Amino acid sequence: MNSEAKTCQNCKNEFVIEPEDFNFYEKIKVPPPTWCWKCRAMRRMAFRNMRHMYVRNCDATGKKIYTLMPPGSPMPVYSDDYWRSDKWDPMDYGREYDFSRPFFEQIRELYNTVPWGTMWSMEKVNSDFSFTAYSKNCYLCFDSGYIEDSAYSVTLLYSKNCFDIINVKDCEFCYYCINTSQSYKTFFSRNCASCVEVWFSQDCVGCNNCFGCSGLRNKSYCIFNKQYDRETYKAKLTEMKLNTWSGIQSARKLAQDFWKKSPVKYFHGVKALRSSGDYLYNCTELINCFFAGNAQNMRHCQSVIFPPNKDSMDITSCEGTDLAYEILAGGHGVHKTLGCAECANVSDSAYAINCRFVSTVFGCVAVKSKSYCILNKQYSKEEYFELLPKIRNHMDEMPYVDVKGREYRYGDFFPFDMSPFGYSQTQAFEYFQLNEEEAKKQGLRWREKEKRDYTITKRANELPDDINSVDDKVMEGVIECAHSADSAHIAGCDIDCATAFRITKQELDFYRKFELPLPRLCFNCRHVDRVQWRNIPALYHRRCMCLSGQGSGYKNVATHFHGQDPCPNEFQTSYAPGRPEIVYCEKCYQAEVV
């Protein structure tokens, strides 16, 4: 089968369906998509709110609960305990399939009627203000699990005593890091592994006591990749006054300037065989995938890290997938399944939402331990398989058409307008940022910025510069976020800024322990700031910038295979043309890593 070019229904750009794609669609019996991979990913991610928390009353018990479902959403919201209990039955909401209306109208009505629980939040100790699994003493942590004594983090795994983190695993006493693993006392760093007492560094492995470094391996006492003895290194760090806010800001600028003058590998990852994308590890034949690992034969996937994952396409934030397509937030095994969201242990099913331990269900919401159900109504095996092909044909013959004229048939994920979340609240906004005008142009919901009326007791610029000058009274105040009074926001902060924040005892103890200054930004703005440290999921065709040290401002430390001529290697990379980084191919980068 040959490649085929199509025009995306949503963005109107041309995209190509490859022969391998057609083989997969044939295997799982779905038609080829009419949306490009990026718009398909946006559509899925628009159904996931990862970290915007709300206070509501449980619609069953009336008690105060914390939820990711915004006020005003049509579905009832239950507390964790009640939603998981046997005190209510999702089958009570079952209904007959109506062949006079599009399927997606019917599943939307069911979705808006069946009670919602807190997804993936369980087994928490003293972690009420977090949405985590198996956590203890955690505050404002989201999409995280197996963590202790941590706060202000997203996707923190198997770690403890970590603050202000994104996508970190197996770490302890780390602060303001992103994409870091197996590290200890690592601060303001990205893409590092197995590091100890490292500051403001990127792509370092096995390093300890390093500052402002890039691309080092198994080094100690280095500053901007220059070797020092222990005493000189300690003295220079003392001179930087890293216990002060002014010292941290100066150090960050120096480090980021140095990063731009150092070569970077065209992609982030290790042990990625015959794969394309970024942030890949321990994988084989991953095509156009991002933040993915422990997987094989996957295409157009994002945030897939827990094994085993194989033979799937268009998967976001899932674990244990096999022959799965268009899945969002699937856990503990998703096999031979299409178009599901927030499900676990599901097989041979389609269009399920919030379901657990189900097989052979279609268009169900919150169903548990069932088979042969359609729209939450129980059927016999014979009735189910007699009705199912009729529904599939009906979805093709009577597609759902949204206000923008986009058609949704069998094989498509849920329509944009079915999501209860504003685009700026969702995972999609972090990966594919749109402003309000752009989002509404695509027919996306947009949640207006919340009005906050905090009584500010201290401005950010009034905080002590030195952590040693901070007394316990700071915990009693309400501090204005520096961005709320500053027009020079980071992209996204104008939407997300909480305008104010407080300092908890847990974090103050952490700052004092490691002599870190108090933050000046609210949690939301700090999160948005760290997100800028990672590349967005997009690939560009580029050529290696290695010219044996000529023209890039960087002088090679080793002799390269191409001698004095420019490197001929070309590749796909997430570093867009025009960015300041010096982007090297694998061979040239490995020659420079020391």
Q: Which tens digit of pLDDT belongs to each residue from 126-183?
A: 998 999 999 999 999 999 999 999 999 999 999 999 999 999 999 999 999 999 999 9
How confident is residue 120, by pLDDT bands cut at 50, 70 and 90?
Answer: confident
Q: What is the pLDDT of residue 227?
A: 97
Domain match, 106 and 1 both: yes
Do the domain assignments include residue 22? yes
> Which residue type does 50 have?
M
Q: Report cis status (omega within 30 of 0) of the bond before 566.
A: no
Instruction: Enter the tokens of residue 107.
Output: 């599943």
- Cα dihedral 228, 232, 238, 242 in deg (nearest 10): 0
* pLDDT tier, 552 (very low <50, low <70, confident <90, very high otherwise): low
On the question of pLDDT at 487 being above 80, the answer is no
- Token pair for 252: 């960050």
Helix (H, G, I), strand (E, B) or coil at 433: coil
pLDDT value for 493: 67
Tell me whether residue 3 is exposed, middle or buried, using C-beta atoms within 10 angstroms of its C-beta: 0 to 12, 13 to 18, 19 or more: exposed
Pairing mode of beta strands 371-374, 377-378? antiparallel
| Three-state helix/strand/coil letters over 463-484 | CCCEHHHCCHHHHHCCEECHHH
Q: Which tokens in the block code for residue 297?
A: 């034969």
Cβ atoms of 561 and 283 closer than 8 Å: no
Last residue of a domain, one of 484, 502, 531: 531
Q: What residues have CB less than 8 Å from 260, skipping those under 6 apart?
A: 580, 581, 582
Nearby residues of 576 by Cβ (< 8 Å), 6 or more positions away: 538, 540
Q: Residue 495: pLDDT above 80?
A: no
Q: Identify whether residues 14 and 111 lie together within a single domain.
A: yes
- Spatial separation of the C-alpha atoms in residues 202 and 284, rounded to whole Å: 25
Residue 341 lies in a domain: yes
Query: Could you give the angle at the alpha carbon of 554 between the alpha carbons of 549 and 560, nearest 5°?
Result: 40
Mean pLDDT over residues 427-445, rounded?
Answer: 90
* Mean pLDDT, residues 375-401 taken together: 97
Domain boundary among 241, 265, 289: 265
* CA distance linking residue 266 with residue 469, whole number of Å: 44
CA–CA separation, 41 vs 315, rounded Å? 8
Task: Answer yes or no: is 492 within a domain.
Answer: yes
Comparing CA positions, the residue from 278, 296, 303, 275 lying closest to residue 287 is 275
> So what's the pLDDT on residue 486?
57
- 107 found inside a domain: yes
Can you name the residues that pair with 263 across neighbouring β-strands?
582
- For residues 197 and 207, the answer to whether their CB atoms sit within 8 Å is no
User: How far is it, in rounded angstroms, from Cα 526 to Cα 192?
Assistant: 20
Domain count, the chain: 3
When pLDDT is averaged across residues 406-420 and rounded to a whole number, the result is 96
Q: Please indicate, yes or no, whether residues 232 and 360 belong to a single structural domain of this protein.
A: no
* Pair (48, 110) in one structural domain: yes
> In the predicted model, what is the mean pLDDT of residues 244-262?
95
What is the token pair recorded at 428? 């999609």
Gap between the Cα atoms of 558 and 590, Å rounded? 10
Model confidence at 551, pLDDT cuts 50, 70, 90, reads low
Could you report the per-residue pLDDT of 41-83, keeping only the tens digit for each?
999 999 999 899 999 999 999 999 999 999 889 999 999 889 9
Q: Return d(Cα 298, Cα 20) in angstroms, integer.
A: 11
Pseudo-torsion of CA 171, 174, 179, 180, nearest 10°? -50
On whether both 152 and 258 belong to a single domain, the answer is yes
Mean pLDDT over each residue of the chain, to the nearest integer: 93
Give which of 504, 537, 454, 517 is closest to 252, Cα–Cα.
Answer: 517
Could you tell me the pLDDT band of residue 550, with boundaries at 50, 70 and 90? low
Q: How are beta strands 131-136 and 139-148 bridged, if at all?
A: parallel
Whether 129 and 115 share a structural domain: no
pLDDT of residue 118: 74
| Res. 103 pLDDT band, cuts 50 70 90 | very high
**Is residue 485 over pLDDT 70?**
no
Task: Give the per-residue pLDDT at 141.
Answer: 96
Q: Which helix (H) or strand (E) segment is 34 a member of?
A: none
Residue 450 in this model has a pLDDT that exceeds 80: no
Question: Do the strands 220-223 and 540-543 form a parallel or antiparallel pair, or are they unpaired?
Answer: unpaired
pLDDT for residue 591 is more than 60: yes
Across the range 232-244, mean pLDDT stands at 96
d(CA 187, CA 184): 9
Pairwise CA distance, residues 55 & 31, whole Å:
42
CB contact at 8 A, 240 and 250: yes
CA distances from 554 to 177, 260, 582, 585 (A): 26, 10, 8, 15
**Separation of alpha carbons 248 and 242, rounded Å:** 5
Q: 3-class SS at 502?
A: coil
Find the helix packing angle between 230-240 and 245-260, rounded to 10°.
120
Residue 442: pLDDT band (50, 70, 90) is confident
Range of the domain at 27: 1-53+87-119+329-448
Residues 115 and 202 in one domain: no
Residue 51 burial class via C-beta count within 10 angstroms: exposed 0-12, middle 13-18, buried 19 and up: buried
Please give the average per-residue pLDDT across 251-272, as a whole number: 93
Determine which helix (DSSP H) or strand (DSSP E) holds 571, and give its type and residue range.
strand 570-573
Residue-level pLDDT at 220: 97
Amino acid of residue 281: Y
3-class secondary structure, 52: coil
Strand stretches in 62-202, DSSP E: 64-67, 122-125, 131-136, 139-148, 151-160, 163-169, 175-181, 184-187, 196-199
Instruction: Mark whether 357 and 424 lie in a shared domain.
Output: yes
Which pLDDT score is estimated for 305? Answer: 80
CB atoms under 10 Å from CB of 396, counted, come to: 12
- What is the model's pLDDT at position 547? 84
Contact, 8 vs 15, CB < 8 A? yes
**Cα separation, 310 vs 296, whole angstroms:** 5
- Per-residue pLDDT, averaged over 307-331, amounts to 92
Strand partners, 4: 17
Given 477, 502, 531, which residue is the final one in a domain?
531
- Amino acid identity of residue 511, one-letter, is Y
Bridge partners, residue 265, by sequence: 584
Within a domain: residue 425? yes
* 423, 476: one domain: no
The pLDDT of 275-279, averaged and rounded, is: 94
Distance CA 213, CA 255 (A): 7
Mean pLDDT check: name the lowest of 126-135, 183-192, 193-202, 479-488.
Answer: 479-488
In a domain, 573, yes or no: no
Residue 379's SS3 state is coil
E-assigned strands of 162-244? Answer: 163-169, 175-181, 184-187, 196-199, 208-211, 220-223, 226-227
- 3-class DSSP state for residue 27? helix
- Mean pLDDT across the stretch 360-365? 98
Predicted local confidence at residue 152, as pLDDT: 97
Do the domain assignments include residue 323?
A: no
In a shared domain, residues 9 and 92? yes
Average of pLDDT values for 459-482? 94
Axis crossing angle, helix 103-111 with helix 381-397, rounded to the nearest 10: 120
**Share above pLDDT 70 across residues of the chain, in percent, rounded to a whole number:** 97
| pLDDT over 90 (residue 496) | no
> Does residue 188 have a pLDDT over 80?
yes
In a domain, 339, yes or no: yes
Q: Flag the least confident range among 6-15, 382-391, 526-535, 540-549.
A: 540-549
Measured distance between the N- and C-terminal CA atoms of the chain, rounded to whole angstroms: 46
**What DSSP element (H or E) covers 501?**
strand 500-501
The predicted pLDDT at position 116 comes to: 94
Same domain assignment for residues 383 and 333: yes
pLDDT score, position 465: 96
Distances (CA, A) of 20 to 2, 212, 274, 284: 9, 43, 14, 15
Q: Which residue type, as a one-letter code, is found at position 392? A: R
Q: Are residues 106 and 132 in the same domain?
A: no
Confidence of residue 443 (pLDDT cuts 50, 70, 90): confident
Q: For position 80, what pLDDT does the model report?
A: 87
